[in-house]
Structure 1
Amino acid sequence: MALPPRIDVHSHFLPPFYHDALLANGHEKVDGMPAIPEWSLEGHLALMSAANITKSILSISSPGTNLHPNTSPPQVASLTRQCNAYAAHLKRTYPGKIGFWASLPLPDVPAALEEMDRAREEGCDGFVLMTNYHGSYLGDPMFDPIFARLNEIHANVFIHPTAPCMQCSRVPTPALPLGDGYPIPIFEFIFDSARAVINLFFSGTVDRSPNVTFVLPHAGGVLPPLLTRFTAFGALVPESRGIDAKVVRRQLGEQFYFDLAGTVFEGDEGVVGSGQLKALVRGFDISHQRLLYGSDFPFTRHASAMILANAMKDGLDELYEEKERDAIYQGNAEKLLRK
């Protein structure tokens, strides 16, 4: 059977110049994966056709456009500009079919604010932020001007995980206690997403940004089981001014979306829809109106993306009625992109 039509909010592009920049900066095995995935527009359109994706919102994945802590700010700004201009060209060429989350040359805040204006002029659908920039997480006060501007323009912000990192010295230190024997996306990505979001709450960034809409990947990663814990212990964090569990739940239900990229439907063998997503929506009363489709192509290859798309179909058929499924596949994303 044909898959239901869908909008993909979590898909990536790797233009040739970005691929070359990864290689030149020591990312030939990006985030510990075996190799940089091959990407082409033709291949992307082929997946869209096969999975019945009516629109893809493209973004640069980890490690973003700041590829090395010693890269000069002008070089980072230049690569960021190239990537956004490339994505804007694709959107102009395929109107209605391709959109993009624009990258920012962080942690250079003045350059990021300038790039934000350029990308908006080019029609970006929002912005992609890495969970951290060489150890500076999103709730860091240095990023307050960025979130003030994002709040002013009512922006959509897609948060993408990257390698966890600590600022132990002038040279950031990877926070990989199990070493480099495991590709970072397997589990460190999932932890870093939760780390970044908790940091946004504790820092007061979410409170100060009521007009910002956040998209969290992989059904929130390990955030859901930590919700009760970090809200309960919030009073122990002096900088947080106390965390109100009811306020956090309300903000999650009004300002946050969760994409379904990855293995969120994997559960007990033979039990459809019993995995991570069910724990999120049933355990924490997350509405179907906050769920979005994501392929994570090309880091999830074509064949795997199709397997996961079919698993999503079976899982959603089990968990939701037709009207709710239609919203998850398309309606929620349409509402988000009109914001």
Structure 2
Amino acid sequence: MALPPRIDVHSHFLPPFYHDALLANGHEKVDGMPAIPEWSLEGHLALMSTANITKAILSISSPGTTLRPDTPPSEAKSLTRKCNAYAADLKRRYPEKFGFWASLPLPDVQAALEEIDKAREDGCDGFALMTNYHGFYLGDPVFDSVFARFNEIHATVFIHPTAPCLQCSHGAPTPALPFGDQYPIPVFEFIFDSARAVIHLFFSGTVDRCPEVTFVLPHAGGVLPPLLTRFTAFGALVPGSRGIDAKEVRRQLGEQFYFDLAGAVFEGDEGVVGSGQLKALVKGFDISHERLLYGSDFPFTRHASAMLLANRMKDGMEVLFNEKEREAIYQGNAERLLREETSKGSTSGAKAGLDRE
């Protein structure tokens, strides 16, 4: 049977110049994977046709656009601009097919603030941030002005994991990988780093200070949900520690956060249809179907694997959700999110970018 129509909010692009930049900067086995995946517009459209993806919101995946700790700021700024301009051109040429989360050349905050305005002029749908930038995690005070700007423009922020890293007081930042290169980083380190970044956003007060920012969390929240009770109870359980209000965190998760379903969110064995990570999220933590979004993670999840997961998801979703809820998860929630993002544009440049659609 044909798959239901869907909007893909976790979908990547690797234009040729970005592929070359990865190779030139030591990322030929990006994040410990066997190779940089091949990507082309034709290949992406083919996956969209097969998986019945009506629209894909493109983003640059890990390691982002600041490819090394010692990347000259001018190089990171230039690569970021080229990537965003490339995505914006795809959106202009195929307005019904593509949108994009714009990259930022962090940790260069001033360059990032400049790029926010340029990307909005290009009609971006929001911003893609890595969980950390060479050891500076989201929630670090160094990024306060960026999040203040996001709050001012009511931005949508798509968070994507990258390799965990330690910011050292002396010398270059170092990878925080206890197993070294024994396992590809996306297998589980990505999932841990997503939780680390989001918890820091709460503890740092960033989420409290940014009530107008909408966050999209990848991979059904990764390991964040099992940690919810633990980190929200921290203040009450540990004397003298800075606490956070558990009820307020739950409210914020229900109003400011979405979870995409990229990855293996359902078990694949016979007899367990509907079981797995997504069931634990929605049943164990009362996450509404209205906060869920489809994601393929193409091309880092190759065409065949993306189809396998999409078909597994079709079966699992029929167990967990009714038809109306499934339609919302596949399309309606993303349409609402993108519609809200479009309505946020208040600068003349942003409006001009939207008018080009």
Query: Do the aligned partners of 1:203 and 1:239 also contact (CA within 8 Å) in 2?
Result: no
Structure-1 residue corresponding to 2:134 = 134
Structure-1 residue corresponding to 2:37 = 37
Structure-2 residue corresponding to 1:320 = 321
Q: C-alpha separation between the residues in 1 aligned to 2:308 and 2:171?
A: 44
Q: Secondary structure at the match of 2:42?
A: helix
Q: Secondary structure at the match of 1:187?
A: helix
1:207 to partner: Cα distance: 0.3
Give, as a single letter, the amino acid of the residue that structure 1 aligns with 2:38.
E
Q: C-alpha separation between the residues in 2 aligned to 1:90 and 1:236?
A: 51
1:1-339 → structure 2 map (5 Å cutoff)? 1-168=1-168, 169-235=170-236, 241-266=242-267, 269-339=270-340
1:170 to partner: Cα distance: 2.6
Identity %: 85
Give, as a single letter, the amino acid of the residue that structure 1 aligns with 2:43.
G
The Cα offsets for residues 300-336 of structure 1, whole Å up to 9 and x where unpaired, read as 0000000000011001100000000000000000011
What is the aligned residue count? 339
Q: C-alpha separation between the residues in 1 aligned to 2:241 and 2:4?
A: 43
1:270 to partner: Cα distance: 2.0
| Regions of 4+ moved over 3 Å | 234-241
Q: C-alpha separation between the residues in 1 aligned to 2:158 and 2:241?
A: 23
Q: C-alpha separation between the residues in 2 aligned to 1:48 and 1:236?
A: 48
Query: Do the aligned partners of 1:267 and 1:276 also contact (CA within 8 Å) in 2?
Result: no
Q: Which moved more, 1:166-175 or 1:325-334?
A: 166-175
Query: Do the aligned partners of 2:28 and 2:35 also contact (CA within 8 Å) in 1?
Result: yes
Question: Normalization by structure 1: what TM-score?
Answer: 0.98
Structure-1 residue corresponding to 2:344 = none
Give, as a single letter, the amino acid of the residue that structure 2 aligns with 1:158.
F
Q: C-alpha separation between the residues in 2 aligned to 1:124 and 1:179?
A: 36
Q: C-alpha separation between the residues in 2 aligned to 1:301 and 1:3?
A: 17
The Cα offsets for residues 248-278 of structure 1, whole Å up to 9 and x where unpaired, read as 0000000000000000112664211110000
Q: C-alpha separation between the residues in 2 aligned to 1:194 and 1:311?
A: 25
The Cα offsets for residues 184-209 of structure 1, whole Å up to 9 and x where unpaired, read as 00000000000000000000000000
The Cα offsets for residues 41-84 of structure 1, whole Å up to 9 and x where unpaired, read as 00000000000000000000000000000111011000000000
Give the unaligned 5+ runs of structure 2.
Answer: 341-357
Q: C-alpha separation between the residues in 1 aligned to 2:310 and 2:235?
A: 37
Change over 3 Å in CA distance of 1:68–1:218 after alignment to 2: same
Q: C-alpha separation between the residues in 2 aligned to 1:255 and 1:236?
A: 26
1:238 to partner: Cα distance: 9.7
Q: Secondary structure at the match of 2:8?
A: strand
Give, as a single letter, the amino acid of the residue that structure 1 aligns with 2:83.
C
Q: C-alpha separation between the residues in 2 aligned to 1:237 and 1:140?
A: 23
Q: C-alpha separation between the residues in 1 aligned to 2:244 and 2:12?
A: 34
Query: Do the aligned partners of 1:236 and 1:242 also contact (CA within 8 Å) in 2?
Result: no
Question: Normalization by structure 2: what TM-score?
Answer: 0.93
Query: Do the aligned partners of 1:268 and 1:275 also contact (CA within 8 Å) in 2?
Result: no
Give, as a single letter, the amino acid of the residue that structure 2 aligns with 1:275.
G
Q: C-alpha separation between the residues in 1 aligned to 2:152 and 2:141?
A: 17
Q: C-alpha separation between the residues in 1 aligned to 2:334 and 2:171?
A: 41
Q: C-alpha separation between the residues in 2 aligned to 1:141 and 1:76?
A: 21
